[in-house]
Structure 1
Amino acid sequence: MSIFTKEHNDLREKHNTKNKFEYYFDNIVKDEIDESLANYLESLEYFFFATSNINGNTNVNFKGKKSKYLIKVLDEKTFIFPDYFGNGIFHGAGDILSNPNVGLLCIDFSNDKRVKISGTAEIIDNKKELLKYMDLFDSYDIQRVIEIRVNYIIPNCSNNLSIVRESILKDCN
């Protein structure tokens, strides 16, 4: 799986992290969703969804749970999530139409767990196709479903998550 560029490799050489990277990449990076990851994804309350258009302009959206599932895993390479009517700008959906490469950052602050997913997205908004997925979600104002085909999955380093969680809890007290 070739997901890194010469520039990534040059930085690893410069900062002497090549061996660490090779171990990490050989043992941790995945290209399929196993049962444990499927359970994690289907339990999420929210995630951050990154897109970019054909010109490389980037966009990040917050996606939050509005129905029984936020993400539904279909198989080891594919999952979907509902997309609801928003402000009408269609920033993320428009990006997908010009550049299907997307990223997700899924964070569980309570368990210090992060997962990064890179994939390609497809918009499903044909009413007949959309009906196949309506039973998975208990909200009926879904405008479209976004289907993600996984390229790679990286369990992200959880350093600093406990610091963020403690800060959030401190602010709530």
Structure 2
Amino acid sequence: MSTNSNLSLKSANIEPDLALGHPGELAMRAIFPSPIDWKEENLKGMMRDSISVGFAAFINSQHFFFLATSSAKGHCDASFKAREYNAAGEPLPAVLVIDAQHVAFPDYAGNGLYNSLGNIAENPHVGMLFVDFEHQRRGRLNGKAEIVSASDELRRIWPMAQSVVLVTVEQAFGNCPARIPQMHMEQGSDRSKA
């Protein structure tokens, strides 16, 4: 996938988290000890800088995901991103793993506030949370995002997208299934009622 049409306004090269976490995470671990003694080795085993084949299959199968973004000044936004359907009624991917280092998802015209895209334009760091309520599984992906225009190649995947967000993986990991309620998706229940 070509990404030469970057629409982002960001210019700073922001470094990823340290392997063991940033100072705030380390301080909270000291205040609230866990039964797990996190060491750099076991964190590296859990938090990978690439997407495994199994995690890619999990991501590609999701109907939706949650996206966390923040402006340059740290003002946060969390949003729900879900798949669309093409003119023939076939579901389009909500997100697509491009390779072990990249995922992409479409941006559709919405209410015109551009909370997520506006934040990405200022601060490339994003968090993505994938939850499969039927099988009570979840996974997380953190990385750097860039906004790319919807090329012909991307329009074949997402014909209604006005742009696409390409995320370069910094951390990809499964997350424990604790407290995920079991829910079942009804066929076609994610279709627009409009």
Partner of 1:134: 155
Q: If the length of structure 1 is used for normalisation, what is the TM-score?
A: 0.84
State the identity %. Answer: 26
Q: Confirm whether residue 154 of structure 1 aligns to residue 173 of structure 2.
A: yes
**Gaps in structure 2 of 5+ consecutive residues:** 1-16, 85-90, 186-194
SS at match of 1:82: strand
Give, in angstroms, the shift of residue 56 of structure 1: 0.5
Kept after mapping to 1: 8 A contact 2:135/2:182: no
Q: If the length of structure 2 is used for normalisation, what is the TM-score?
A: 0.76
Q: CA RMSD in A?
A: 2.0
Partner of 2:24: 7
Pick which of 21-30 and 43-52 moved more: 21-30
Structure 1: distance between partners of 2:98 and 2:54: 14
Q: Which runs of 4+ in 1 moved over 6 A?
A: none
Kept after mapping to 2: 8 A contact 1:29/1:152: yes
The one-letter amino acid of 1:131's match is D
SS at match of 1:133: helix
SS at match of 1:27: helix
The one-letter amino acid of 1:17's match is S
Kept after mapping to 2: 8 A contact 1:48/1:106: yes
Kept after mapping to 2: 8 A contact 1:72/1:136: no
The one-letter amino acid of 1:155's match is G
| Greater helix proportion | 1
Partner of 1:76: 100
The one-letter amino acid of 2:31's match is K
Q: How many residues align?
A: 160
**Gaps in structure 1 of 5+ consecutive residues:** 169-173
